[in-house]
Structure 1
Protein backbone atom coordinates (compact mmCIF):
# COMPACT_ATOMS: atom_id res chain seq x y z
CA UNK A 1 0.00 0.00 0.00
CA UNK A 2 1.02 3.62 -0.39
CA UNK A 3 1.31 6.08 2.48
CA UNK A 4 2.48 9.65 2.82
CA UNK A 5 5.35 10.92 4.93
CA UNK A 6 3.50 13.30 7.25
CA UNK A 7 6.39 14.38 9.48
CA UNK A 8 10.11 13.74 9.96
CA UNK A 9 11.60 14.35 13.42
CA UNK A 10 15.13 14.13 14.79
CA UNK A 11 14.96 11.85 17.83
CA UNK A 12 18.73 11.73 18.54
CA UNK A 13 22.03 12.18 16.72
CA UNK A 14 21.63 10.26 13.49
CA UNK A 15 18.13 8.98 14.31
CA UNK A 16 15.22 10.24 12.20
CA UNK A 17 11.63 9.21 12.87
CA UNK A 18 8.96 9.23 10.18
CA UNK A 19 5.24 9.67 10.76
CA UNK A 20 3.33 7.89 7.99
CA UNK A 21 -0.36 8.42 7.17
CA UNK A 22 -2.88 7.14 4.63
CA UNK A 23 -3.11 9.49 1.61
CA UNK A 24 -6.91 9.68 2.05
CA UNK A 25 -6.71 10.05 5.83
CA UNK A 26 -8.19 6.55 6.27
CA UNK A 27 -7.32 4.22 9.09
CA UNK A 28 -4.19 2.13 8.61
CA UNK A 29 -4.11 -1.65 9.17
CA UNK A 30 -3.92 -2.58 12.85
CA UNK A 31 -0.69 -3.84 14.39
CA UNK A 32 0.65 -5.18 17.66
CA UNK A 33 3.86 -4.40 19.61
CA UNK A 34 6.91 -5.91 17.94
CA UNK A 35 5.59 -5.49 14.39
CA UNK A 36 7.61 -4.03 11.53
CA UNK A 37 6.97 -2.53 8.11
CA UNK A 38 8.71 -3.21 4.81
CA UNK A 39 9.65 0.15 3.30
CA UNK A 40 10.28 0.30 -0.45
CA UNK A 41 13.21 2.68 -0.77
CA UNK A 42 14.06 3.06 -4.43
CA UNK A 43 15.19 -0.34 -5.70
CA UNK A 44 15.57 -1.84 -2.22
CA UNK A 45 13.25 -3.02 0.56
CA UNK A 46 14.16 -2.54 4.21
CA UNK A 47 12.42 -3.49 7.44
CA UNK A 48 11.85 -1.01 10.27
CA UNK A 49 10.07 -1.58 13.58
CA UNK A 50 6.86 0.26 14.33
CA UNK A 51 7.54 2.37 17.41
CA UNK A 52 4.37 4.41 17.82
CA UNK A 53 1.07 3.69 19.53
CA UNK A 54 -0.91 0.69 18.20
CA UNK A 55 -4.11 2.40 19.35
CA UNK A 56 -3.47 5.25 16.89
CA UNK A 57 -4.67 3.78 13.60
CA UNK A 58 -4.27 7.12 11.86
CA UNK A 59 -0.48 6.93 11.62
CA UNK A 60 2.54 4.70 11.75
CA UNK A 61 5.87 5.74 13.26
CA UNK A 62 9.25 4.27 12.44
CA UNK A 63 12.72 5.50 13.39
CA UNK A 64 15.82 5.02 11.27
CA UNK A 65 19.44 5.24 12.35
CA UNK A 66 21.77 6.50 9.65
CA UNK A 67 24.34 3.72 9.73
CA UNK A 68 27.90 4.43 8.54
CA UNK A 69 27.97 1.03 6.81
CA UNK A 70 24.50 1.47 5.30
CA UNK A 71 23.64 -0.62 2.25
CA UNK A 72 21.54 2.27 1.04
CA UNK A 73 18.36 2.00 3.09
CA UNK A 74 19.07 4.40 5.92
CA UNK A 75 20.85 6.80 3.57
CA UNK A 76 17.77 6.88 1.35
CA UNK A 77 15.53 7.68 4.33
CA UNK A 78 17.79 10.43 5.64
CA UNK A 79 18.67 12.02 2.31
CA UNK A 80 15.55 11.62 0.18
CA UNK A 81 12.39 11.18 2.24
CA UNK A 82 10.62 14.40 3.12
CA UNK A 83 7.14 15.35 4.41
CA UNK A 84 4.51 15.08 1.69
CA UNK A 85 6.28 12.38 -0.26
CA UNK A 86 4.54 9.09 -1.06
CA UNK A 87 6.09 5.85 0.19
CA UNK A 88 5.19 2.26 -0.61
CA UNK A 89 5.02 -0.10 2.37
CA UNK A 90 4.14 -3.74 3.04
CA UNK A 91 2.90 -5.08 6.34
CA UNK A 92 2.62 -4.74 9.26
CA UNK A 93 4.16 -8.12 10.04
CA UNK A 94 5.05 -9.40 13.51
CA UNK A 95 7.60 -12.06 14.43
CA UNK A 96 8.51 -10.44 17.76
CA UNK A 97 5.23 -10.54 19.64
CA UNK A 98 4.83 -9.59 23.28
CA UNK A 99 3.67 -12.77 25.00
CA UNK A 100 1.71 -12.63 28.26
CA UNK A 101 3.92 -12.74 31.36
CA UNK A 102 3.68 -11.50 34.95
CA UNK A 103 7.06 -9.81 34.56
CA UNK A 104 9.26 -8.47 31.74
CA UNK A 105 12.87 -7.42 31.43
CA UNK A 106 13.52 -5.32 28.34
CA UNK A 107 17.10 -4.79 27.14
CA UNK A 108 17.81 -2.32 24.34
CA UNK A 109 20.99 -1.28 22.61
CA UNK A 110 20.94 1.87 20.49
CA UNK A 111 18.26 1.87 17.79
CA UNK A 112 17.09 -1.47 19.24
CA UNK A 113 14.83 0.60 21.47
CA UNK A 114 12.31 0.97 18.62
CA UNK A 115 10.40 -2.36 18.78
CA UNK A 116 10.41 -2.21 22.58
CA UNK A 117 8.65 1.17 22.87
CA UNK A 118 5.13 -0.14 22.14
CA UNK A 119 5.84 -3.16 24.34
CA UNK A 120 6.53 -0.86 27.28
CA UNK A 121 3.30 0.98 26.56
CA UNK A 122 1.31 -2.26 26.59
CA UNK A 123 3.02 -3.66 29.68
CA UNK A 124 2.35 -0.41 31.53
CA UNK A 125 -1.29 -0.30 30.39
CA UNK A 126 -1.82 -3.87 31.59
CA UNK A 127 -0.24 -3.18 34.96
CA UNK A 128 2.58 -5.69 34.44
CA UNK A 129 5.81 -5.65 36.40
CA UNK A 130 8.59 -4.57 34.03
CA UNK A 131 11.87 -2.71 33.70
CA UNK A 132 14.01 -1.50 30.84
CA UNK A 133 17.79 -1.28 30.61
CA UNK A 134 18.66 0.98 27.68
CA UNK A 135 22.28 1.34 26.58
CA UNK A 136 23.86 3.53 23.93
CA UNK A 137 27.10 5.23 22.97
CA UNK A 138 26.03 8.49 24.62
CA UNK A 139 22.84 10.23 25.70
CA UNK A 140 22.99 12.28 22.49
CA UNK A 141 22.78 9.10 20.43
CA UNK A 142 19.91 7.54 22.41
CA UNK A 143 16.47 8.17 20.92
CA UNK A 144 13.14 8.84 22.67
CA UNK A 145 14.69 9.82 26.01
CA UNK A 146 11.90 12.25 26.92
CA UNK A 147 9.22 9.69 26.08
CA UNK A 148 10.96 7.04 28.18
CA UNK A 149 11.59 9.38 31.08
CA UNK A 150 7.84 9.38 31.72
CA UNK A 151 8.11 5.83 33.04
CA UNK A 152 10.31 6.97 35.91
CA UNK A 153 12.51 4.47 37.73
CA UNK A 154 11.38 1.52 35.62
CA UNK A 155 13.81 2.75 32.94
CA UNK A 156 17.58 2.74 33.41
CA UNK A 157 19.62 4.78 30.92
CA UNK A 158 23.18 3.53 30.45
CA UNK A 159 25.22 5.81 28.17
CA UNK A 160 28.50 4.02 27.59
CA UNK A 161 30.64 7.17 27.58
CA UNK A 162 29.48 7.93 31.14
CA UNK A 163 28.70 4.54 32.73
CA UNK A 164 30.32 1.90 30.54
CA UNK A 165 28.40 -0.98 28.91
CA UNK A 166 25.22 -2.54 30.22
CA UNK A 167 25.89 -4.76 33.24
CA UNK A 168 24.38 -7.93 31.83
CA UNK A 169 25.68 -10.06 34.68
CA UNK A 170 23.66 -8.01 37.15
CA UNK A 171 20.61 -7.98 34.89
CA UNK A 172 20.61 -11.64 33.87
CA UNK A 173 22.84 -13.44 36.36
CA UNK A 174 19.96 -14.96 38.34
CA UNK A 175 17.41 -16.86 36.22
CA UNK A 176 13.79 -15.98 36.94
CA UNK A 177 10.97 -18.40 36.23
CA UNK A 178 8.27 -15.72 35.91
CA UNK A 179 10.09 -13.28 33.60
CA UNK A 180 10.33 -12.94 29.83
CA UNK A 181 13.40 -11.15 28.47
CA UNK A 182 12.99 -9.07 25.30
CA UNK A 183 16.15 -7.77 23.68
CA UNK A 184 16.97 -5.84 20.52
CA UNK A 185 20.18 -4.15 19.47
CA UNK A 186 23.53 -4.81 17.80
CA UNK A 187 24.76 -8.38 17.40
CA UNK A 188 27.42 -8.26 20.18
CA UNK A 189 24.70 -7.31 22.68
CA UNK A 190 22.35 -10.04 21.44
CA UNK A 191 25.07 -12.69 21.59
CA UNK A 192 26.01 -11.63 25.12
CA UNK A 193 22.38 -11.74 26.27
CA UNK A 194 21.90 -15.17 24.67
CA UNK A 195 24.96 -16.46 26.51
CA UNK A 196 23.73 -15.22 29.88
CA UNK A 197 20.21 -16.55 29.33
CA UNK A 198 21.43 -20.07 28.54
CA UNK A 199 20.54 -21.19 32.09
CA UNK A 200 17.15 -19.47 32.13
CA UNK A 201 13.98 -21.54 31.65
CA UNK A 202 13.43 -22.49 27.98
CA UNK A 203 11.56 -19.81 26.07
CA UNK A 204 12.49 -17.00 28.45
CA UNK A 205 14.45 -15.00 25.86
CA UNK A 206 13.02 -13.26 22.79
CA UNK A 207 15.37 -11.50 20.38
CA UNK A 208 15.01 -9.38 17.27
CA UNK A 209 17.96 -8.93 14.95
CA UNK A 210 18.67 -6.21 12.41
CA UNK A 211 21.13 -8.42 10.53
CA UNK A 212 21.77 -12.13 10.13
CA UNK A 213 23.69 -13.67 13.03
CA UNK A 214 27.09 -15.24 12.30
CA UNK A 215 26.67 -18.97 11.74
CA UNK A 216 28.78 -21.82 10.38
CA UNK A 217 27.15 -24.38 8.13
CA UNK A 218 28.37 -27.49 6.38
CA UNK A 219 28.69 -27.78 2.60
CA UNK A 220 25.55 -27.29 0.56
CA UNK A 221 24.06 -30.50 -0.78
CA UNK A 222 21.59 -30.53 -3.71
CA UNK A 223 17.95 -31.42 -2.99
CA UNK A 224 14.50 -31.26 -4.52
CA UNK A 225 11.71 -28.91 -3.52
CA UNK A 226 8.19 -30.04 -4.29
CA UNK A 227 5.69 -27.18 -4.49
CA UNK A 228 2.50 -29.01 -3.55
CA UNK A 229 -0.08 -26.41 -4.56
CA UNK A 230 1.70 -25.60 -7.83
CA UNK A 231 2.49 -29.24 -8.65
CA UNK A 232 6.06 -28.26 -9.57
CA UNK A 233 9.34 -29.90 -8.51
CA UNK A 234 12.55 -27.87 -8.57
CA UNK A 235 16.14 -28.94 -8.01
CA UNK A 236 18.12 -26.66 -5.69
CA UNK A 237 21.84 -26.88 -6.27
CA UNK A 238 24.76 -25.83 -4.06
CA UNK A 239 25.08 -22.09 -3.66
CA UNK A 240 21.51 -21.43 -4.84
CA UNK A 241 18.71 -20.43 -2.48
CA UNK A 242 15.30 -22.08 -2.61
CA UNK A 243 13.73 -18.72 -3.43
CA UNK A 244 16.08 -18.16 -6.38
CA UNK A 245 15.57 -21.70 -7.70
CA UNK A 246 11.80 -21.31 -7.50
CA UNK A 247 11.88 -17.94 -9.22
CA UNK A 248 13.82 -19.52 -12.09
CA UNK A 249 10.92 -21.98 -12.39
CA UNK A 250 8.36 -19.12 -12.33
CA UNK A 251 7.24 -19.87 -8.78
CA UNK A 252 7.15 -16.54 -6.95
CA UNK A 253 7.74 -16.46 -3.20
CA UNK A 254 7.32 -13.07 -1.46
CA UNK A 255 10.70 -12.06 -0.07
CA UNK A 256 12.40 -8.88 1.08
CA UNK A 257 15.59 -9.14 3.12
CA UNK A 258 17.05 -12.33 1.56
CA UNK A 259 18.95 -12.74 4.85
CA UNK A 260 16.49 -14.73 6.96
CA UNK A 261 15.62 -11.88 9.31
CA UNK A 262 12.31 -10.35 8.15
CA UNK A 263 9.98 -13.35 7.75
CA UNK A 264 8.42 -12.18 4.47
CA UNK A 265 9.12 -15.54 2.81
CA UNK A 266 7.89 -17.71 5.70
CA UNK A 267 6.56 -20.96 4.21
CA UNK A 268 4.76 -23.97 5.66
CA UNK A 269 6.67 -27.26 5.51
CA UNK A 270 4.54 -30.28 4.58
CA UNK A 271 7.21 -32.99 4.45
CA UNK A 272 10.98 -33.28 4.82
CA UNK A 273 13.41 -31.79 7.31
CA UNK A 274 14.50 -28.18 6.82
CA UNK A 275 18.06 -27.04 7.43
CA UNK A 276 17.19 -23.84 9.28
CA UNK A 277 19.70 -21.07 8.58
CA UNK A 278 17.59 -18.05 9.47
CA UNK A 279 18.12 -15.56 12.27
CA UNK A 280 14.43 -15.06 13.01
CA UNK A 281 12.66 -18.20 14.15
CA UNK A 282 12.98 -19.15 17.79
CA UNK A 283 14.75 -22.36 18.73
CA UNK A 284 11.37 -23.94 19.38
CA UNK A 285 10.03 -22.70 16.06
CA UNK A 286 12.96 -24.23 14.21
CA UNK A 287 12.75 -27.52 16.08
CA UNK A 288 9.06 -27.87 15.21
CA UNK A 289 9.96 -27.93 11.48
CA UNK A 290 6.48 -26.64 10.59
CA UNK A 291 7.67 -23.45 8.89
CA UNK A 292 10.91 -22.26 7.29
CA UNK A 293 12.44 -19.23 5.61
CA UNK A 294 13.43 -20.40 2.10
CA UNK A 295 15.48 -17.31 1.31
CA UNK A 296 18.38 -18.78 3.32
CA UNK A 297 17.39 -22.18 4.69
CA UNK A 298 17.95 -25.45 2.88
CA UNK A 299 17.04 -29.13 3.37
CA UNK A 300 18.54 -31.96 5.40
CA UNK A 301 16.56 -34.50 3.39
CA UNK A 302 16.80 -35.18 -0.36
CA UNK A 303 13.19 -33.99 -0.81
CA UNK A 304 11.35 -31.10 0.79
CA UNK A 305 7.63 -30.56 0.25
CA UNK A 306 6.42 -26.98 0.73
CA UNK A 307 3.01 -25.34 0.75
CA UNK A 308 3.61 -23.33 -2.41
Structure 2
Protein backbone atom coordinates (compact mmCIF):
# COMPACT_ATOMS: atom_id res chain seq x y z
CA UNK A 1 0.00 0.00 0.00
CA UNK A 2 1.46 3.35 -1.06
CA UNK A 3 1.57 6.38 1.19
CA UNK A 4 0.21 9.77 0.14
CA UNK A 5 2.95 12.24 -0.76
CA UNK A 6 1.37 14.76 1.65
CA UNK A 7 2.36 12.48 4.52
CA UNK A 8 5.90 12.14 3.18
CA UNK A 9 6.80 15.58 1.84
CA UNK A 10 5.89 18.72 3.77
CA UNK A 11 8.16 21.74 3.59
CA UNK A 12 6.92 23.03 6.94
CA UNK A 13 8.46 19.91 8.51
CA UNK A 14 11.75 20.03 6.59
CA UNK A 15 12.94 21.36 3.23
CA UNK A 16 15.40 18.45 2.79
CA UNK A 17 14.54 15.08 1.18
CA UNK A 18 16.45 12.03 0.02
CA UNK A 19 14.89 10.47 -3.10
CA UNK A 20 15.64 7.23 -4.93
CA UNK A 21 14.40 5.88 -8.26
CA UNK A 22 15.10 2.32 -9.39
CA UNK A 23 14.85 0.75 -12.81
CA UNK A 24 12.15 -1.93 -13.15
CA UNK A 25 13.48 -3.84 -16.15
CA UNK A 26 16.38 -6.24 -16.18
CA UNK A 27 18.20 -4.02 -18.64
CA UNK A 28 20.45 -1.50 -16.99
CA UNK A 29 19.65 2.12 -16.34
CA UNK A 30 23.35 2.88 -16.85
CA UNK A 31 26.65 1.05 -17.06
CA UNK A 32 27.57 -2.24 -18.73
CA UNK A 33 25.12 -5.16 -18.67
CA UNK A 34 26.98 -8.47 -19.02
CA UNK A 35 23.70 -10.32 -19.61
CA UNK A 36 22.94 -8.45 -22.84
CA UNK A 37 26.52 -7.40 -23.62
CA UNK A 38 25.36 -3.81 -24.00
CA UNK A 39 26.84 -0.64 -22.59
CA UNK A 40 24.44 1.96 -21.24
CA UNK A 41 27.09 4.17 -19.66
CA UNK A 42 26.02 7.19 -21.69
CA UNK A 43 22.69 7.26 -19.84
CA UNK A 44 24.45 8.55 -16.72
CA UNK A 45 25.10 11.76 -18.59
CA UNK A 46 21.43 11.94 -19.61
CA UNK A 47 20.37 11.83 -15.97
CA UNK A 48 23.03 14.24 -14.72
CA UNK A 49 22.27 16.82 -17.40
CA UNK A 50 18.51 16.56 -16.92
CA UNK A 51 18.82 16.70 -13.12
CA UNK A 52 20.96 19.84 -13.13
CA UNK A 53 18.86 21.47 -15.85
CA UNK A 54 15.70 20.99 -13.79
CA UNK A 55 17.49 22.43 -10.75
CA UNK A 56 17.96 25.67 -12.71
CA UNK A 57 14.27 25.85 -13.56
CA UNK A 58 12.65 24.60 -10.36
CA UNK A 59 13.03 26.23 -6.96
CA UNK A 60 14.57 22.97 -5.79
CA UNK A 61 18.28 22.70 -5.03
CA UNK A 62 20.43 19.61 -5.54
CA UNK A 63 22.55 18.91 -2.44
CA UNK A 64 23.90 15.51 -3.47
CA UNK A 65 23.44 12.90 -6.19
CA UNK A 66 24.86 9.58 -7.33
CA UNK A 67 23.92 7.81 -10.55
CA UNK A 68 24.37 4.04 -10.27
CA UNK A 69 23.83 1.15 -12.70
CA UNK A 70 20.13 0.49 -12.00
CA UNK A 71 19.10 3.39 -9.76
CA UNK A 72 20.01 6.92 -8.73
CA UNK A 73 19.96 8.92 -5.51
CA UNK A 74 19.37 12.64 -4.97
CA UNK A 75 19.21 14.82 -1.86
CA UNK A 76 16.99 17.80 -2.62
CA UNK A 77 16.23 21.09 -0.87
CA UNK A 78 12.91 22.88 -1.42
CA UNK A 79 13.67 26.60 -1.73
CA UNK A 80 10.45 28.44 -0.84
CA UNK A 81 12.21 31.80 -0.55
CA UNK A 82 13.41 31.49 -4.13
CA UNK A 83 9.89 30.66 -5.33
CA UNK A 84 8.27 33.52 -3.44
CA UNK A 85 10.76 36.03 -4.85
CA UNK A 86 9.88 35.26 -8.48
CA UNK A 87 7.63 37.59 -10.43
CA UNK A 88 4.67 36.19 -12.37
CA UNK A 89 6.69 36.60 -15.56
CA UNK A 90 9.67 34.73 -14.07
CA UNK A 91 7.45 31.84 -12.96
CA UNK A 92 5.77 31.63 -16.36
CA UNK A 93 9.10 31.72 -18.20
CA UNK A 94 10.44 28.84 -16.13
CA UNK A 95 7.35 26.68 -16.49
CA UNK A 96 6.93 27.40 -20.20
CA UNK A 97 10.52 26.29 -20.81
CA UNK A 98 9.26 22.78 -20.02
CA UNK A 99 5.63 22.90 -21.22
CA UNK A 100 3.46 24.59 -23.78
CA UNK A 101 1.14 27.04 -22.07
CA UNK A 102 -2.49 28.04 -22.57
CA UNK A 103 -3.25 30.79 -25.05
CA UNK A 104 -4.22 33.18 -22.26
CA UNK A 105 -0.80 32.95 -20.57
CA UNK A 106 0.96 33.25 -23.93
CA UNK A 107 -0.96 36.47 -24.54
CA UNK A 108 0.04 37.71 -21.08
CA UNK A 109 3.70 36.97 -21.80
CA UNK A 110 3.46 38.81 -25.12
CA UNK A 111 2.18 41.91 -23.33
CA UNK A 112 -1.33 41.81 -24.84
CA UNK A 113 -4.00 43.88 -23.10
CA UNK A 114 -6.18 41.55 -20.99
CA UNK A 115 -9.47 42.13 -19.24
CA UNK A 116 -9.62 42.11 -15.45
CA UNK A 117 -11.15 38.62 -15.47
CA UNK A 118 -8.47 37.37 -17.86
CA UNK A 119 -5.72 38.83 -15.67
CA UNK A 120 -7.18 37.13 -12.60
CA UNK A 121 -7.41 33.78 -14.38
CA UNK A 122 -3.88 34.19 -15.73
CA UNK A 123 -2.57 34.90 -12.24
CA UNK A 124 -4.35 31.80 -10.88
CA UNK A 125 -2.65 29.61 -13.48
CA UNK A 126 0.80 31.07 -12.84
CA UNK A 127 0.43 30.80 -9.05
CA UNK A 128 -0.33 27.11 -9.57
CA UNK A 129 2.90 26.85 -11.54
CA UNK A 130 4.74 28.63 -8.71
CA UNK A 131 3.64 25.86 -6.34
CA UNK A 132 4.74 23.22 -8.83
CA UNK A 133 8.21 24.78 -9.00
CA UNK A 134 8.63 23.77 -5.34
CA UNK A 135 7.13 20.30 -5.80
CA UNK A 136 9.54 17.37 -5.53
CA UNK A 137 6.84 15.19 -7.12
CA UNK A 138 6.79 17.39 -10.24
CA UNK A 139 10.59 17.60 -10.25
CA UNK A 140 11.01 13.83 -10.10
CA UNK A 141 8.21 13.29 -12.62
CA UNK A 142 9.85 15.50 -15.23
CA UNK A 143 13.21 13.85 -14.59
CA UNK A 144 11.95 10.28 -14.73
CA UNK A 145 9.53 10.72 -17.62
CA UNK A 146 12.28 12.15 -19.80
CA UNK A 147 14.76 9.38 -18.98
CA UNK A 148 12.12 6.65 -19.46
CA UNK A 149 11.14 8.08 -22.84
CA UNK A 150 14.74 8.28 -24.04
CA UNK A 151 15.61 4.80 -22.75
CA UNK A 152 12.49 3.20 -24.25
CA UNK A 153 13.27 4.87 -27.55
CA UNK A 154 16.83 3.56 -27.47
CA UNK A 155 15.73 0.06 -26.38
CA UNK A 156 12.96 0.05 -29.00
CA UNK A 157 10.33 -0.99 -26.49
CA UNK A 158 7.42 0.37 -24.47
CA UNK A 159 6.19 -0.06 -20.92
CA UNK A 160 7.31 0.92 -17.47
CA UNK A 161 10.95 1.83 -17.05
CA UNK A 162 10.89 2.80 -13.36
CA UNK A 163 9.95 0.66 -10.38
CA UNK A 164 6.75 2.51 -9.47
CA UNK A 165 6.97 5.83 -7.66
CA UNK A 166 10.23 7.22 -6.44
CA UNK A 167 11.02 6.67 -2.78
CA UNK A 168 11.39 9.74 -0.57
CA UNK A 169 12.71 10.28 2.95
CA UNK A 170 12.31 13.41 5.05
CA UNK A 171 15.64 14.52 6.53
CA UNK A 172 14.58 16.20 9.75
CA UNK A 173 17.81 17.67 11.13
CA UNK A 174 21.47 18.36 10.36
CA UNK A 175 22.55 14.86 11.36
CA UNK A 176 20.08 13.30 8.96
CA UNK A 177 21.13 15.67 6.16
CA UNK A 178 24.84 14.92 6.64
CA UNK A 179 24.26 11.16 6.81
CA UNK A 180 22.05 11.13 3.71
CA UNK A 181 24.48 13.23 1.67
CA UNK A 182 27.42 11.04 2.70
CA UNK A 183 25.41 7.89 1.96
CA UNK A 184 24.63 9.19 -1.52
CA UNK A 185 28.10 10.50 -2.33
CA UNK A 186 29.78 7.28 -1.17
CA UNK A 187 27.51 4.90 -3.09
CA UNK A 188 30.17 4.09 -5.73
CA UNK A 189 32.83 3.51 -3.04
CA UNK A 190 30.54 1.19 -1.05
CA UNK A 191 29.66 -0.67 -4.27
CA UNK A 192 33.39 -1.08 -5.07
CA UNK A 193 32.91 0.81 -8.34
CA UNK A 194 35.33 3.55 -7.31
CA UNK A 195 38.39 3.60 -5.06
CA UNK A 196 37.96 7.17 -3.84
CA UNK A 197 35.26 9.89 -3.84
CA UNK A 198 37.15 11.93 -6.44
CA UNK A 199 37.07 8.91 -8.76
CA UNK A 200 33.33 8.41 -8.31
CA UNK A 201 31.94 9.43 -11.68
CA UNK A 202 28.53 11.10 -11.83
CA UNK A 203 28.36 12.02 -8.16
CA UNK A 204 27.99 15.41 -6.53
CA UNK A 205 31.14 14.95 -4.45
CA UNK A 206 33.23 14.48 -7.60
CA UNK A 207 31.60 17.57 -9.13
CA UNK A 208 32.41 19.61 -6.01
CA UNK A 209 36.03 18.41 -5.96
CA UNK A 210 36.46 19.24 -9.65
CA UNK A 211 35.03 22.73 -8.99
CA UNK A 212 37.59 23.24 -6.22
CA UNK A 213 40.38 22.22 -8.57
CA UNK A 214 39.16 24.90 -10.97
CA UNK A 215 39.12 27.38 -8.05
CA UNK A 216 35.36 27.77 -8.29
CA UNK A 217 33.39 28.70 -5.18
CA UNK A 218 30.89 25.90 -5.74
CA UNK A 219 29.98 23.35 -8.38
CA UNK A 220 27.55 24.70 -10.98
CA UNK A 221 23.87 23.99 -10.22
CA UNK A 222 24.59 22.43 -6.80
CA UNK A 223 23.36 23.89 -3.51
CA UNK A 224 26.42 25.55 -1.91
CA UNK A 225 27.94 24.84 1.49
CA UNK A 226 27.66 28.00 3.63
CA UNK A 227 29.37 26.99 6.87
CA UNK A 228 28.11 26.20 10.36
CA UNK A 229 24.75 27.64 11.53
CA UNK A 230 24.83 31.31 12.57
CA UNK A 231 22.75 34.47 12.45
CA UNK A 232 22.03 35.65 9.86
CA UNK A 233 22.29 32.30 8.07
CA UNK A 234 22.71 32.47 4.28
CA UNK A 235 20.89 30.02 2.05
CA UNK A 236 22.85 26.82 1.67
CA UNK A 237 23.97 23.57 3.28
CA UNK A 238 24.80 24.23 6.98
CA UNK A 239 28.31 22.75 6.92
CA UNK A 240 31.74 23.81 5.77
CA UNK A 241 32.68 22.20 2.46
CA UNK A 242 36.17 21.23 3.61
CA UNK A 243 34.75 19.62 6.76
CA UNK A 244 32.31 17.65 4.64
CA UNK A 245 35.02 16.49 2.23
CA UNK A 246 37.19 15.41 5.17
CA UNK A 247 34.21 13.49 6.53
CA UNK A 248 33.60 11.81 3.16
CA UNK A 249 37.27 10.88 2.83
CA UNK A 250 37.43 9.43 6.36
CA UNK A 251 34.16 7.53 5.95
CA UNK A 252 35.20 6.14 2.57
CA UNK A 253 38.41 4.80 4.11
CA UNK A 254 36.44 2.96 6.79
CA UNK A 255 34.23 1.33 4.15
CA UNK A 256 37.17 0.39 1.96
CA UNK A 257 39.41 -0.89 4.75
CA UNK A 258 36.58 -2.63 6.61
CA UNK A 259 37.38 -0.76 9.83
CA UNK A 260 33.86 0.13 10.90
CA UNK A 261 33.71 1.89 14.23
CA UNK A 262 37.43 2.35 14.80
CA UNK A 263 38.71 5.76 15.85
CA UNK A 264 41.84 7.14 14.21
CA UNK A 265 43.78 10.37 14.37
CA UNK A 266 42.06 11.78 11.29
CA UNK A 267 38.55 11.72 12.79
CA UNK A 268 36.78 14.78 11.27
CA UNK A 269 35.67 17.44 13.81
CA UNK A 270 32.28 17.70 12.10
CA UNK A 271 31.30 14.42 13.79
CA UNK A 272 31.80 16.00 17.21
CA UNK A 273 29.77 19.08 16.26
CA UNK A 274 26.90 16.90 15.11
CA UNK A 275 27.16 14.69 18.21
CA UNK A 276 28.06 11.47 16.39
CA UNK A 277 30.12 8.62 17.71
CA UNK A 278 32.15 7.09 14.85
CA UNK A 279 30.31 3.76 15.08
CA UNK A 280 26.91 5.53 15.01
CA UNK A 281 27.98 7.58 12.00
CA UNK A 282 29.14 4.56 10.01
CA UNK A 283 25.92 2.72 10.85
CA UNK A 284 23.87 5.68 9.63
CA UNK A 285 25.90 5.85 6.41
CA UNK A 286 25.02 2.25 5.56
CA UNK A 287 21.37 2.18 6.69
CA UNK A 288 20.08 5.59 5.61
CA UNK A 289 17.41 4.16 3.27
CA UNK A 290 15.44 2.63 6.15
CA UNK A 291 12.04 4.26 6.68
CA UNK A 292 10.52 7.47 5.37
CA UNK A 293 11.81 9.76 8.14
CA UNK A 294 15.40 10.28 9.23
CA UNK A 295 16.24 12.25 12.36
CA UNK A 296 16.52 12.20 16.14
CA UNK A 297 13.66 10.79 18.24
CA UNK A 298 12.59 14.32 19.13
CA UNK A 299 12.64 15.46 15.49
CA UNK A 300 10.68 12.41 14.31
CA UNK A 301 8.02 12.73 17.03
CA UNK A 302 7.62 16.44 16.32
CA UNK A 303 7.16 15.77 12.59
CA UNK A 304 4.45 13.10 12.90
CA UNK A 305 1.46 15.42 13.62
CA UNK A 306 2.41 17.76 10.76
CA UNK A 307 2.55 14.78 8.41
CA UNK A 308 -0.77 13.42 9.72
CA UNK A 309 0.94 10.25 10.86
CA UNK A 310 0.77 8.35 14.14
CA UNK A 311 3.45 5.68 13.81
CA UNK A 312 7.20 6.22 13.77
CA UNK A 313 8.80 4.58 10.75
CA UNK A 314 12.28 5.86 10.21
CA UNK A 315 15.95 5.82 11.04
CA UNK A 316 16.59 7.28 14.47
CA UNK A 317 19.81 9.25 14.68
CA UNK A 318 21.80 9.31 17.94
CA UNK A 319 21.35 12.13 20.45
CA UNK A 320 18.56 14.69 20.68
Specify the TM-score bucket, using the shorter chain as the normaliser. under 0.3
Bigger share in strand: 1
Using CA pairs below 8 Å that are at least 6 residues apart, which structure has the higher relative contact order?
2
TM-score normalised by length of structure 1: 0.27
